[in-house]
Amino acid sequence: MDAWVDAAAAEIAQRAPRELEALVAVSSPSGDVHGAEECASVCAALLPAQAAVERVPCSSPGHAPDLIARLAGGGRRRILLLGHLDTVVAHDEHRPLAPDGDRLVGSGAVDMKGGVALALGALRALAQRPEAYAEVALLLVVDEEWRTGPLVHVERFAGFDACLCFEAGELAGDDEAVVVRRKAAATVRVRARGRSAHSGSAPDRGRNALLALATAAQAVAAAHDPAGPQRLTAVPTVLRSGDAFNVVPGDGELYADCRADDLGAVEAVCAAVPDDVAGVALDTELVRRWPGMHSEAAVAPLLERAARLLGRPVRGASRGGASDASHVAAALPVTVDGLGPRGGAAHNPGEYVVAGSIPTRAQVAMAVVAAALEGGT
């Protein structure tokens, strides 16, 4: 293993569990300004003294500002380190970090405060090696789990040489893997407009929005084809309709989460939902569009260099979950994701990081960082 990669990773791994504990101690669900500010303050305290820090407007209105930390050096290449501070866990369900065997269990541990801890460590290591780069920037956003629109910072970093995102890592067989391919992701919303009526004395005068939305949900679910050519997943997730047990519900809405290799497959799901069911009008739209990421060819030389520096293989893997890396990959073809520690149960009460993966994933991350700074093909 390259000596610098080994030494930098060892220092990162030594500090990462305590820093992860500090980050997870802050409850920071998307949209909560106070939680985001507190989490950003923790990150600022862990940054190298050489970093220039700025807070910039978030992509989502009403959120706290995002954080950017920059290091300037005497080299020639510019790389972006990317992560997010927000979680999906509400305050009343938040769990601070606690060990459970080889697991570090806590809200947002793997998605993605474990990765943020490694990214902060990487920036500290790079601060001691300014001759290796022209610029390194760390972007930590506060709305990744919430955002429906585009990532507004893409143009800001469009001239950079590479983007390295620290979402959770994984294995490919016995080898360490990083993410080079992600599905496009979209949220389908169906709004129903029917007619309310008394469910006992005049049920047939109503137009039941709940039943119409159930039909819509079945239409969405029928498109589910994860083994098909587009690897489409179409999953109804939220249905709201009705306010009283004795009233025919006159309106409501349905949400579904859809993922596919191409957004066109999701648009076909929308087209499959009828416009009218038994007199109930259904309006279907995509309220969230995230592009896919297809970086396999562009990052293959980088992964070869990383494997040489690491002394063992680094495989490229595919993942269905969405990430801000997908937005950046549209402008920076050399985009690698999945550089964080391994773990599981993301978005669930038992979310965890595998403690034993932190040293090896720190090595992978620093090998990829070093490879990105080498450049070349």
Strand order in the sheet with 184-193: 233-241, 251-260, 184-193, 280-290, 276-277
pLDDT score, position 321: 81
Q: Which residues contact 350 (CB under 8 A, 6 or more apart)?
A: 105
pLDDT of residue 322: 86
Tokens 């802050």, located at residue: 26
> Do 66 and 318 contact (CB within 8 A), yes or no?
no
Provide the pLDDT for residue 376: 63
| pLDDT averages per 10-residue partition of the chain, 377 residues | 98 98 98 98 98 98 97 98 97 97 98 98 98 98 93 96 98 97 95 98 98 98 97 97 97 97 93 98 95 95 98 96 93 97 95 98 98 83
Centroid of chain to Cα 88: 11
Domains of the chain from N-terminus onward? 3-183+292-374 (3.40.630.10), 184-289 (3.30.70.360)
The pLDDT of residue 375 is 81
Instruction: List pLDDT tens digits, range 137-184.
Output: 999 999 999 898 899 999 999 999 999 999 999 999 999 999 999 999
What token pair was written down for 359?
């040293």
Contact call for residues 156 and 54 (beta carbons, < 8 A): no
**Strand duo 103-105 + 352-354: pairing:** antiparallel
Place of tokens 């562009």: 298
Tens of pLDDT, residue by residue over 238-294, are 999 999 999 999 999 999 999 999 989 999 999 999 999 999 999 999 999 999 999
Identify which of 360, 356, 368, 355 has the alpha carbon closest to the alpha carbon of residue 325: 368
- What is the structure's pLDDT at 74? 97
Instruction: Tell me the C-alpha distance between 201 and 96, whole Å.
Output: 52
